[in-house]
């Protein structure tokens, strides 16, 4: 029998930083929460990507705002991967829960890279931003390749 454990204790157990206490009534709520966080992160990271790839004009202020939001939101989704949240409306692979240390390491790496992205964006140099964006995107992809279904 799987037992549902509130996100806050899971986050502490995993050593993942929670900027604010997220709490879920049911596993389905945790799944919705983590997906919502990834969706918001994608919108802001994508905005930075559009600049880096010259799809929209480079604007240092807009880049810095969006990179900052990306780095903040990056702290959120992993609270939603507690025990009991393996099944449901999710593309998360079961390996997440059998390789939780590796998953946690990949999550931390992405959090580090998005923090570096925010720092790079503040520096106001598009070339520096581009390099940091590439590193951050790699850290997203690494996790998707191992832990997300198509």
DSSP 19-64: SS----SSHHHHHHHHHHHHHHHHHHHHHHHHHHTTSS---HHHHH
> Which residues neighbour 41 within 8 Å (Cβ) at sequence distance 6 or greater?
70, 73, 74, 77
Candidate list 2, 12, 46, 56; residue touching ligand ASC; CB under 6 A: 46
Query: Which neighbouring-strand residues pair with 92?
Result: 148
Q: Is 91 in the site for ligand ASC (CB under 6 A)?
A: no
> What φ, ψ does residue 148 adopt, rounded to 5°?
-125, 130
Q: Is 103 in the site for ligand ASC (CB under 6 A)?
A: no
| Nearest distance from C-beta of residue 49 to ligand ASC, angstroms | 5
Q: Is 2 in the site for ligand ASC (CB under 6 A)?
A: no
Question: Cα–Cα distance between 100 and 117 in angstroms, integer?
Answer: 25
Candidate list 24, 33, 45, 78; residue touching ligand ASC; CB under 6 A: 45
Closest to ligand ASC by CB, 26 or 55: 55
Site for ligand ASC in 24-43 (CB under 6 A): 42
Q: For binding to ligand ASC (CB under 6 A), which residues are involved?
A: 42, 45-46, 49, 137, 140-141
């Amino acid at each position: 029998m799987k037992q549902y454990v509130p996100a806050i204790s899971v986050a502490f157990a995993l050593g993942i930083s929670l900027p604010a206490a997220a709490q879920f009534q049911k596993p389905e709520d945790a799944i919705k929460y983590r997906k919502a966080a990834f969706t918001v992160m994608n919108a802001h990271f994508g905005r930075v990507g559009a600049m880096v790839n010259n799809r929209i004009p480079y604007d240092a202020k807009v880049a810095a705002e969006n990179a900052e939001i990306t780095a903040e939101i990056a702290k959120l989704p992993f609270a939603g991967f507690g025990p009991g949240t393996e099944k449901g409306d999710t593309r998360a692979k079961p390996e997440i829960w059998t390789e939780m240390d590796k998953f946690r390491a990949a999550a931390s790496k992405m959090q580090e890279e998005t923090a570096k992205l925010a720092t790079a964006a503040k520096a106001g140099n598009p070339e520096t931003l581009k390099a940091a964006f590439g590193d951050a995107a790699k850290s997203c992809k690494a996790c998707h390749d191992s832990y997300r279904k198509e």
